[in-house]
Every structure is written in structure tokens, then in C-alpha cells.
Amino acid sequence: MGKKRVIKKSKEELLKERDKIEAAVRKDVQIKTAPRIRECNLCIFSSYNNTILTLTDPSGQALYWTSAGRLGFKGTKKGTPFAASKVAEAMVHAIYKLKINRLRIFVKGTGSGRESAIRSLVGRNFDIISIKDVTPVPHNGCRPKKPRRV
């Protein structure tokens, strides 16, 4: 067996990839027509593989959603904090278009993108009412294995 070769991208390729992601973030957002809503819920689902943000009205109807895969991240890059911050940036553009002022944030999952998504949202001038962790936690766990008989 020969040596494994590591493919390194040139600066031009990295810049093209970054420009593609930036264009996806700034792309014109298609939003469902909704009456003027001042207060919304923002659900952040962060797993090890992806980060998904969903904007809903107070009754739970989805107004807009976006994810790292939708912005053009592929493979293991979708689960990174950088991808989560870019997803949050795309969500901020949608929130500005809807002219929403107040947000309730619900965070679910154990991925590495939770904190970076929240940080990039808090950095904007939104009135954040609450941040709540709704990750499901088992009360007693799974049934233990039977003891080994020797």
C-alpha cells in the first residue's frame, strides 16, 4: 500500500467556497406571507451532523426555516460551529424581512452549533424574551443489560 495523499485546497478554491456560502446567506429569502407579527419563536435544533433553525409564530406555524445543508455545507462541515453561525446569519436576514422584534429561543440537541448560533443571534438588536433548553432527557434511562453468566 502506498502513502495516502492529503488534498489541500488552494487559496482561490477556498475563497470561491466562502463566496458561495456568503451568497447563499444573502440570497433573497422566500417567506410565507403572514400578518404582521411582533413576537415569534425560534427553534434551534443542533445535532452532531447538522444545525436547523425554524422560525414559528406564537401558535407554532412555521414561517421560515434554514439549515447548514441548505446553505451549501456538505458532509461533516454541516455540524461545525462556523456553519451554525452562518445559518443563524441567514435566519437574521429573514427576521429582518419579516420585521420581527421579539424572540423566544428554544434550543434542542447536543451538537457543537448551539452556542455559536445563539451568540450570533444575541449579537443583533433583537429583544430576546427567553432562551430555553428543551433537549429531551431520559428519567431513568434504558433497561440495563443482563449480568454475564460465566
What confidence tens digit (pLDDT) does each residue in 21-50 have? Answer: 777 666 655 555 556 778 999 999 999 999
What global pTM score does this model have? 0.74
pLDDT (mean) for 112-116: 90
Query: What pLDDT is stored for residue 6 in this prediction?
Result: 67
Query: What pLDDT is stored for residue 150 in this prediction?
Result: 85
Please tell me the class of the 42-133 domain: alpha beta
Domain boundaries, the chain: 42-133
Element (H, E) at 20: helix 11-26
Return d(Cα 70, Cα 97) in angstroms, integer.
19
Element (H, E) at 67: strand 62-67
Confidence of residue 84 (pLDDT cuts 50, 70, 90): very high
Q: Is 41 exposed, middle or buried (0-12, 13-18, 19+ CB in 10 A)?
A: buried
Rg of the Cα trace of the chain? 19
First to last CA, the chain: 42
